[in-house]
Amino acid sequence: MSAFVGLLACGVSSVFFGSMFVPIRKHNTGDGLFVQWVMCSAIVAIGMIVNAAKDFPQFQPLAMVGGFLWAVGNLTAVPIINMIGLGMGILVWGTVNCVVGWACGRFGLFGINPSVPDSPIVNYVGLILVVIGGFLFSQIRPSVSQAHDGPENDLDAQDAAENSHLIPNENEIDAEQQAGTEVVSRKAKRSLGIILSLLAGLFYGVTFVPVIYIQDHKEDFRNPPPEAISYAFSHYCGIYLTSTAAFLVYLVYKQNKPFVNSHSILPAFCSGLLWAVAQLSWFIANDALSQAITFPIISMVPGVIASLWSIFYFEEIRGRQNLRLLGIAIAITLTGAALVGVSKGSGK
């Protein structure tokens, strides 16, 4: 398989990953449990089609573990988007995803073969730039709710009230307390969203480890498929079973009264299709290129795609300062990802 095919697969994967949540962004997804189950139903459907197209290769239970890890991360996706926005959420967990995936490949964590870079200095500099870019992304203040002004406007209103009356009346005190509570609530929601994004990135970063382990230790498994894409069905089954288990627990907790928005079903299914195609493209890219090239590209570029959706379509990221900071963050992150990519390892 040529490098051109691998790079093309990287491009397809990046665009689809960066756009996967666009169909459901403007729909009320509630707590997200039903939506994620619909997404995973679409994913396993694509897995069945690929499995049939590959003439039903040997099922690999270990590959399901990677699907389990991804599904756990995916359970946090909708809450993250509701808390900090589409672009920021994907960019933060994409940064962690890149670092964790890099560490697994570079040092051979969890029993996989290490991939020693030909240019260690370039590799480390690129990684540092990616981390810096991720930090800059975390400083962006998206306007997730279009109905509310930013915290700065709330604080300005409080200052004006305090300066106009030395002894405010009871209504003014209540208004100030309410405004202060809203500011704290927004800050707490943003902090929680970032924490969940970090955890999601951790799980996403190790999702390929089981498949790579099988490929690196073929002698320990029964009829392991030669192509990475042949593991997709096993991987997707792990996703679907984990998602279904979580949804059943949710149904019991909600006493069989889940939040279901009928308008979100088709968009959620479409989001699942986008993800499934993106992941398949990643499998193809891994066969054509080294992990050192595919991981930085596919873990970081989707965040750039998502930020473009946030700016031009959802208008979540506004303001000259935010846009300037976003531009710097994107430039630093892409530079870091490129440096990590060109420091190709000598191993797989």
**What one-character-per-residue DSSP string does 232-282 give?**
HHHHHHHHHHHHHHHHHHHHHHTTT-----GGGHHHHHHHHHHHHHHHHHH
**Mean pLDDT of all residues belonging to the chain:** 81
- Cα dihedral 94, 9, 304, 294 sign: positive
Residue of 313, 322, 318, 306 lying closest to 88 (CA atoms): 306
Cβ neighbour number for residue 195 with a 10 Å cutoff: 14
pLDDT for position 86: 65
pLDDT of residue 161: 34
At 137-158, the pLDDT tens digits run 767 776 654 433 334 443 333 3
Type of residue at 188: A
The span from the CA of 2 to the CA of 28, in Å, is 43
User: ∠ at Cα 134 (129, 136), nearest 5°?
Assistant: 95
Q: Rounded to a whole number, what is the distance in angstroms from the first to the last CA of the chain? A: 15
What token pair was written down for 225? 């498929």
* H helix runs in 108-231, sequence order: 120-138, 151-164, 170-205, 209-216
Name the pTM for this structure.
0.78
Query: Which parts of the chain sit beneath pLDDT 70?
Result: 1, 86-87, 138, 142-184, 344-348
Question: CA–CA separation, 160 vs 113, rounded Å?
Answer: 62
The torsion angles phi and psi of 62, rounded to 5 degrees, stand at -60, -35
The pLDDT, as a whole number, for residue 160 is: 34
Q: Each residue of 279-294: pLDDT tens digit?
A: 999 999 878 777 777 8
